[in-house]
Amino acid sequence: EPEVTQTPSHQVTQMGQEVILRCVPISNHLYFYWYRQILGQKVEFLVSFYNNEISEKSEIFDDQFSVERPDGSNFTLKIRSTKLEDSAMYFCASTVGQGKGQPQHFGDGTRLSIL
């Protein structure tokens, strides 16, 4: 069964450094998402992306965050200057997006640890 894949599984970065989290969505999917989950807290929406544009973003997704689909397969989340509070699990999700409430499918996440 096709799945969303995320790399790396664990990323350790010094505060203030840039980090790029990578995702390969399911191949025929058209809508892409990033969520994050701080340890012990709820899964929170960050951003949705369709047709090479951001469709919606949350308050968390400030100027330090950006997303990109650099080619036909990858979807990336960049944090420009990381803060301690960016430490979390980051999940990528994708959906076909056509009719009947097509569900989002999630990757297993990248654990980001900021030192």
Partner 1 sequence: DAKTTQPPSMDCAEGRAANLPCNHSTISGNEYVYWYRQIHSQGPQYIIHGLKNNETNEMASLIITEDRKSSTLILPHATLRDTAVYYCIVRVTGANSKLTFGKGITLSVRP
Give the binding site for partner 1 (CB under 8 A): 4, 6, 30-31, 33, 35, 37, 39, 42-45, 48, 50, 55-56, 58, 89, 91, 93, 95, 97-98, 100-109, 111
Q: Which is nearer to partner 1, 82 or 95 (CB)?
A: 95
**Nearest distance in Å: CB 71, partner 1:** 22
Q: Which is nearer to partner 1, 6 or 82 (CB)?
A: 6
CB of 24 to partner 1, least distance (A): 13
Q: Within a 13 Å sphere around the CA of 71, how many CA atoms are in the beta-carbon half? A: 5
Residue 50 or 65 having the CB closest to partner 1: 50
State the burial class of residue 10 (Cβ atoms within 10 Å of its Cβ: 0-12, 13-18, 19+).
exposed
Q: How far apart are CA 47 and CA 34, in angstroms?
A: 5
DSSP tally for the chain: helices H, then strands E: 0, 11
